[in-house]
């Protein structure tokens, strides 16, 4: 899930092809449906991204009572309005009257706290939860930003790799070589340096034991001379999320696919190519494209049918974009990594969104 930032942005306004009273305000590569004439190209306004939870007063002010997602009708979600995908909300809240939004654009001011907007936290089903313990040695995963919000993470023509983004639940495993200790966690618990105690019914431990992830991590640590190895994978199947990729969710067929590896070598944590490091020892997320970065190509590959099952059973969630050679990004302030999500996935009916 991306980080939450509610910022002022310079807009580019487009005609709505199917509605005379509506227009499309563009932020990055996102477009949000707005009332015609409310904004002009070059003007600044506040952009509230998807997965934001809004306070009741702001919902009422924006005329969105009863129109947002979630049990409280307070969560921003992508929708189609008169045939056009609308992602996020463009507005000028009364609480920011008198604020120089053009200056806020330059300064990158985050208005989330001031507006009472919080980040939506997906619910945690019992099979994904459990007793936890402190795990300071756990190697954490990172939030991945959407390329449509931050299109400058990569430069046109830069060699990149696109892997399929799976709709499951992220499983974090860290192997500490000098202690021969294994920590297993979810993305949410991992962000708090907490690990799940081993329990036979726990989803992540079932996947780790069923696919031999800890043993693979120990072998990687030995080959690399690493003190710690982190293997990050997606657990999927029936009972995990609404997209199952043909896995029925039983212990022997619970889906697992590794998507990243990190290792502490000589005191420095490095991100490594999962396919190269794991040497076929674990299932991997499918690689869909390797070549020069082109945003149109990325968005094209993000849509379509899933390739995990080999049968195209349902739609694809999207893709994760990485540089061919791991590098730092000034845009993210960390790894150069991003995601692109399929519009069909965002607007599907009856979808689940657990951690």
| Same domain (yes/no): 189, 111 | no
Q: For residue 355, tell me if it sits in a domain.
A: no
Here the CATH number for the domain that contains residue 21 is 2.40.50
**Rounded Cα gap, residues 73 and 272, in angstroms:** 41
Look at residue 303 in the predicted model and tell me its pLDDT.
97
Look at residue 202 in the predicted model and tell me its pLDDT.
93
| Same domain (yes/no): 78, 144 | no
Q: Could you say which of 119, 152, 180 is where a domain stops? A: 119
pLDDT digits (tens, 9 = 90+) for 234-260: 999 998 999 999 987 665 568 999 999
Closest of 251, 256, 258, 130 to residue 198, by C-alpha: 130
Look at residue 341 in the predicted model and tell me its pLDDT.
96
> Which conformational region is residue 267 in: left (phi greater than 0), alpha (psi within -120 to 50 degrees), or beta?
left
Q: For residue 352, tell me if it sits in a domain.
A: no
Hey, what are 193's tokens? 């340096």
Q: For residue 164, tell me if it sits in a domain.
A: yes
Residue 282: domain span: 126-346
Q: Could you say which of 68, 102, 119 is where a domain stops? A: 119
Q: Could you say which of 70, 87, 119 is where a domain stops? A: 119
Instruction: With 0.85 as the threshold, say if the pTM is over it.
Output: yes
Look at residue 251 in the predicted model and tell me its pLDDT.
53
Number of domains in the chain: 2
Look at residue 339 in the predicted model and tell me its pLDDT.
97
Beta strands in 115-220 (DSSP E): 118-119, 132-134, 145-146, 159-165, 169-176, 181-186, 194-196
Q: For residue 132, tell me if it sits in a domain.
A: yes
Look at residue 353 in the predicted model and tell me its pLDDT.
79
| Same domain (yes/no): 265, 295 | yes
| Same domain (yes/no): 24, 109 | yes
Q: With residue 30 as reference, give the H or E element that holds it.
A: strand 30-35
Those residues of the chain that have pLDDT short of 50 are none
Look at residue 266 in the predicted model and tell me its pLDDT.
96
Look at residue 249 in the predicted model and tell me its pLDDT.
60
Contacts of residue 188, defined as CB under 8 A and 6 or more positions apart, other chains included, come to: 121, 124, 355
| Same domain (yes/no): 91, 56 | yes
| Same domain (yes/no): 157, 191 | yes
Look at residue 250 in the predicted model and tell me its pLDDT.
62
Here the CATH number for the domain that contains residue 182 is 3.30.470.30
Look at residue 253 in the predicted model and tell me its pLDDT.
67
Q: For residue 351, tell me if it sits in a domain.
A: no
Q: For residue 38, tell me if it sits in a domain.
A: yes
For every residue of 266-323, DSSP letters joined together read TTEEEEE-HHHHHTTSS-BPPEEEEEE--HHHHHHHHSSB--SSSS--SB--EEEEEE
């Amino acid at each position: 899930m991306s980080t939450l930032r509610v910022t002022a942005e310079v807009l580019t306004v487009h005609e709505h092809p199917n509605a005379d009273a509506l227009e499309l305000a563009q932020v990055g590569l996102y477009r949000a449906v707005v009332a015609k004439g409310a904004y002009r190209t070059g003007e600044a306004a506040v952009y509230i991204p998807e997965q934001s939870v809004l306070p009741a007063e702001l919902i009422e002010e924006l005329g969105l009572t009863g129109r947002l997602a979630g049990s409280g009708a307070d969560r921003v979600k992508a929708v189609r309005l008169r045939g056009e995908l609308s992602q996020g909300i463009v507005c000028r809240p009364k609480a920011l009257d008198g604020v120089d939004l053009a200056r806020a654009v330059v300064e990158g001011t985050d208005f989330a706290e001031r507006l009472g907007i919080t980040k939506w936290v997906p619910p945690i089903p019992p099979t994904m939860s459990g007793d936890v313990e402190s795990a300071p040695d756990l190697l954490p995963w990172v939030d991945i930003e959407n390329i449509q919000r931050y299109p400058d993470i990569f430069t046109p023509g830069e060699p990149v790799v696109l892997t399929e983004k799976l709709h499951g639940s992220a499983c974090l495993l860290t192997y500490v070589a000098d202690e021969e200790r294994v920590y297993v966690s979810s993305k949410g618990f991992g962000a708090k340096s907490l690990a799940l105690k081993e329990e036979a019914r726990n989803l992540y431990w079932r996947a780790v034991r069923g696919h031999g992830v800890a043993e693979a991590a120990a072998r990687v640590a030995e080959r690399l001379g690493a003190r710690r190895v982190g293997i990050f994978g997606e657990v999927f199947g029936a009972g995990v999320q609404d997209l199952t990729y043909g896995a029925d969710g039983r212990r022997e067929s619970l889906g697992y696919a590794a998507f990243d590896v990190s290792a502490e070598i000589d005191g420095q944590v490095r991100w490594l190519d999962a396919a190269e490091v794991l040497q076929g020892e674990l299932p991997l997320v499918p690689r869909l494209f390797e070549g020069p970065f082109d945003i149109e190509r990325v968005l094209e590959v993000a849509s379509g049918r899933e390739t995990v099952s080999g049968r195209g059973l349902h739609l694809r969630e999207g893709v994760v974009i990485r540089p061919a050679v791991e590098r730092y990004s000034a845009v993210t302030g960390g790894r150069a990594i991003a995601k692109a999500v399929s519009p069909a996935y965002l607007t599907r009916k009856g979808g689940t969104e657990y951690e």
